Amino acid sequence: MKHLISILFAAVFPILTAQACNGNNPEPDYSFPSTSTGEEPGDTDEPGDADDPINTYFPGEIRPAEEAACFAGAYYHKCVSSTDYWLGIGGTVVLPDMVFDPERTNPNKPGQYLDNPSVYLGGNMGGQETDIGLTWEVVRLENGSVSAERKAFRPFMRRTGQEPTYSNAPAEDRYYWYPGEEVTISIRIIRDGVLEFIVDGAGKQFKTEYECNKYILGEKGEFKRVNAIDQVSNEGKPVQATETVIEGAEWKASWLYREYEGEVVKAPMHTGRYTDMRCPDAQYFKIEATDEEKKAGAEKITINGAGY
């Protein structure tokens, strides 16, 4: 689904959306059995695992679609859940390093590139799309000026259907994270119309409440995690050829929040709980995970604009 464009920040920030692909997605490599019956996504007659529903499937849990259409504009790996009674998503991730294509400098922003890495979560509920996480950003220097180059990952929040559509963490050292640092990121509905967003790691924490009026407790929605090479001012267009490489990203674990037996639990986002999207084509991605890592929603991700 098309994500929103930040009008106020368009000249500074790249398009961060999890655009979706051209139909060349690989078949999901499920460690858990695929339960597709040819019915519309969301249909299931199968019971959960009574012995361990949190780590397998809840009774009546809706299975994800086997594939999803992509939207042009960026190189990205997106894991998106079924539309079900989820409350949010989280994960622990090692932030990636990057090697930019020297031919793709931004003529309007000396020191910056037309490609930009991001690692983020988000969802869709009631038709309201959100992208919430970390993007590679300019920083405020000690003398108060803003760096010409992008130098750190910084929290951001985007939503459709509500103004302002874009906001981010204050430009302060305590809200900057760097390649190789391990952080835990989460978004969760804590009351009707409000998501709690937390980034925690490397001795720093950003925590805020973010109003999203369509995110309602007890309603169905989908949630996602995304690793991307975003491309400046390119949303809805074919990806631009690039040799930029984003490497070293590693999800140690990822999970979906759900209410179960009166408590909010973290259900591992194993390979049977998401649709695997590699856009615009699988050739640009190297995804590595053992069988045990797949059960925990863990994987290593490299994105190479030149392909493999």
| Whole-number pLDDT of residue 137 | 97
Which mean pLDDT values do the consecutive 10-residue runs of the chain (308 residues) have?
Answer: 36 33 33 35 54 95 96 96 98 98 97 98 98 97 95 97 94 97 98 98 98 98 98 96 98 98 97 98 98 98 98
Residues near 286 by Cβ (< 8 Å), separated by ≥ 6?
300, 301, 302, 304, 308
* 133 belongs to a structural domain: yes
Domain that holds residue 109: 75-304
Long-range contacts of 260-265 (CB under 8 A, 24+ apart): 260/53, 260/54, 260/58, 264/87, 264/188, 265/54
* 45 belongs to a structural domain: no
* Contact between residue 202 and residue 181 where contact means Cβ atoms under 8 Å apart: yes
In angstroms, the Cα distances linking 157 to 17, 93, 292, 306 are 11, 18, 32, 29
CA nearest to 103, candidates 235, 231, 244:
244
Element (DSSP H or E) covering residue 292: helix 291-295
Domain count, the chain: 1
Give the angle subtended at the CA of 303 by the CAs of 298 and 307, to the nearest 5°: 135
* 20 belongs to a structural domain: no
Element (DSSP H or E) covering residue 90: strand 86-94
What token pair was written down for 224? 């996602």
Give the angle subtended at the CA of 249 by the CAs of 247 and 254, to the nearest 5°: 160
pTM: 0.85
* 37 belongs to a structural domain: no
| Whole-number pLDDT of residue 1 | 39
| Whole-number pLDDT of residue 38 | 33
* Bridge partner residues of 29 (DSSP): none
| Whole-number pLDDT of residue 71 | 87
What token pair was written down for 122? 């988000």
* 181 belongs to a structural domain: yes
* Contact between residue 213 and residue 127 where contact means Cβ atoms under 8 Å apart: no
* 51 belongs to a structural domain: no
The CATH number that applies at residue 279 is: 2.60.120.1270
* Contact between residue 11 and residue 5 where contact means Cβ atoms under 8 Å apart: no
* 91 belongs to a structural domain: yes
* 64 belongs to a structural domain: no
Residues near 234 by Cβ (< 8 Å), separated by ≥ 6?
15, 73, 74, 240
